[in-house]
Amino acid sequence: MSINLNLGKWGAIFAVPNCVVDEEIRLASENQLKVLLFVLRNSTLSLTEKYVGEQLNIAQEDVKDAILYWIDRGVLASDGSIPKKEMGETSIQEKSESGEKEISDKKPRPVSRSQKPDSIFVAQRIDTDSELASLLQEVESLFGRPISSGDTATVVMLHDTDGLPYDVLMMLFHYCHSIGRDNMKYIEKMGIRWADEDITTIERAEEKITVLQMYGEAWNKVARIFGMNSTGSPTKAQQENANRWINEWHFSEEMLREAYERCVNKKNTFNITYTNGILKNWKKNNINSLKELKEHDEKSSRTKRKKTSAEETSYDIEKYENFSLFD
């Protein structure tokens, strides 16, 4: 007699990285988790943002935001782990900071880096490089814990391989600590990004941190207004849009809330692209208060009613003239 296992639904499974459950499941939004699971399940296929959005019934812009989120977390590759295929128009690629335009043809730095120096090299380096030793001592004091040999190797690579001076690295550590991101993996990714942007002086680092803080504060304000404080870390697109709404277009809290409610009433969910479209239209029409918005809506409604009435009158006259032909 043969013995067979009836695995049922367990007969087909796919892998999910431990870090998704250990570190991200409490931070990631519903759409971000949906997109990741779909991508992991279909890892043998070439997917597109359009196709993923259609299959999950998620806006294409939200798919882009989710992909950027997982790229930032190192779960998906920054060189585009979902290449182009006939199923859609464009493949999922990393976007520029505006969240609207693709990056240049420059090949992005791979997430998987060259091998880090071993513990012996690191120990020797600390003994012979007083600036490195001083930096590590200050970082340990900042974080309130010892820095491991592996973390020290990361610091060495950020200095030697990526070209970040020690004073710039110290500013990087202080900024990451200020936003509660003491994780060396996160610091390494940001350091690589700074190096790619040629942030290699104290002045450029100060400018970058000022921009990051401004974007972060803008998103925190928008998230509070929209009631989204527990949705996890914002994507670049979310921060870019929040900065535009708050610091460039100068919309009040009541106007932002009104835009959010109109978006949810129309889409049954928050869609950052649709919300941006609403606010962009208000900015174009110089609408800056609920009173002005009400007046604009009433005017638009009257214009629409007049147009409809004119069309109906035209139709009635034409109908009468046609009928008269048979009199």
> Could you give the 3-state DSSP secondary structure of residue 221?
helix
Q: Which of 77, 81, 101 is nearest to 91 (CA)?
A: 81
CB 170 within 8 A of CB 191: no
Domain residue limits at 315: 298-322
Distances in whole angstroms, Cα of residue 174 to Cα of each of 16, 140, 181: 32, 11, 10
As a residue count, the chain comes to: 327
My answer on whether 247 and 306 are in the same domain is no
> Helices 49-56 and 60-72: crossing angle, nearest 10°?
110
- The predicted structure's pLDDT at residue 86: 35
What distance in Å separates the CA atoms of residue 172 and residue 188, rounded to the nearest whole number? 10
- CA Rg, the chain, in Å? 27
What distance in Å separates the CA atoms of residue 228 and residue 50, rounded to the nearest whole number? 25
Q: What's the average pLDDT block by block, 10 residues per block, for the chain (327 residues)?
A: 56 76 76 88 82 86 81 69 40 42 43 69 91 95 90 93 95 93 91 94 95 91 84 78 94 94 91 92 93 90 73 53 47
My answer on whether 181 and 158 are in the same domain is yes
Please, which residues have CB within 8 angstroms of residue 317's CB and are 6 or more apart in sequence? none
Q: Which of 124, 198, 113, 206 is nearest to 164 (CA)?
A: 198
* Domain contains 196: yes
* Domain contains 96: no
- Backbone phi, then psi, for 270, in 5-degree steps? -80, 130
* Domain contains 101: no
What distance in Å separates the CA atoms of residue 41 and residue 60, rounded to the nearest whole number? 19
My answer on whether 229 and 193 are in the same domain is no
Number of domains the chain contains: 4
CATH number of residue 58's parent domain: 1.10.10
My answer on whether 133 and 195 are in the same domain is yes
pTM above 0.85, yes or no: no
My answer on whether 128 and 183 are in the same domain is yes
- The predicted structure's pLDDT at residue 8: 60
My answer on whether 219 and 267 are in the same domain is yes
* Domain contains 85: no
* Domain contains 233: yes
Tokens of residue 221, six digits? 């304000």
My answer on whether 155 and 196 are in the same domain is yes
* Domain contains 94: no
Q: Give the domain-ending residue among 176, 200, 224.
A: 200
My answer on whether 214 and 181 are in the same domain is no
My answer on whether 312 and 271 are in the same domain is no
* Domain contains 308: yes
* Domain contains 205: no
My answer on whether 175 and 228 are in the same domain is no
